[in-house]
Amino acid sequence: MKKTAKIIAVTLILVVVAVLATNSLLTNTDNKFYVGVTYCGSTVEEAKLLIDKVKNYTNLFVLQSGPILQSNGTLAINEIGDYAIEAGLSYIIYFGTDSTWIMKDWLDSYDGRWNSNFLGFYFGDEPGGKMLEGFRYFNDSLKGTFSKYSGGLIQWNINDTTQATYTPDGSIRLSFSTPDGSLAGHREVIYYLNGTITDITYKIKIVSENEIQTVPASIVLVKDNSTLEYTYQE
């Protein structure tokens, strides 16, 4: 009987401690919840317009603008920050790998003017997204060089005379230049999604004493309009 009473007492004590701890966590009013907007535009004036638009229903403004950082740096960061703080918002700044020197300059000069309204900065957002959307260059000693552009076009320099270009519309262009780099004899083969293939060899056309043009010398066109029919048999 005594053993049972002890177990009950210990259980009650644990329950009371758990309830008090949970109540303390739930009644903590120091944790503030932030809802805001991120500005990725290119001018200080537009950033201020956005602050005016959202200041009545948000409490956070995030500056994430490469063009602003690259063109105005510390001056723009401070001007936008001052405006956001005066509007009653908290402030965060984004820095990327292409703006590390701006980050250092700004940190060296920051005077603490925004106090607790400055929530800090974050670094290197979405590295995978930047690789997909921006320009990238790869050099492979065995395969050649690859250039990927922001619009989605990819160029592969296979060797000194051969280049493959992959376009966003799905077509593939193979370019074959002459070893001496002259325009005459340059050849292009283009593969289209609909099955059409064009094979063009160029020549030099003398238009005048001071003007020459590169024009097709021969064009081979292969157009595939056939339809494949598939059947399934068990």
Residue 47 burial by Cβ neighbours in a 10 Å radius (0-12, 13-18, 19+): buried
pTM of the entire structure? Answer: 0.51
- The strand pair at 90-95 and 118-123 is best described as parallel
* Cα three-residue angle 186-187-193, rounded to 5 degrees: 150
Write down the pLDDT at residue 10. Answer: 46
Cα 96 to its chain centre, rounded Å, is 11
Distances in whole angstroms, Cα of residue 136 to Cα of each of 67, 195, 206: 19, 30, 39
The DSSP secondary-structure symbol of 99 reads: G
Q: In a 3-state reduction of DSSP, which class is residue 37?
A: strand
φ and ψ of 49, to 5 deg: -60, -40
Record the tokens describing residue 44, joined without a space.
């200080």
- pLDDT, one tens digit per residue, over 175-186 is 888 776 566 667
- The strand pair at 211-222 and 136-140 is best described as unpaired
- pLDDT, one tens digit per residue, over 32-69 is 889 999 998 889 999 999 999 999 999 999 998 888 88
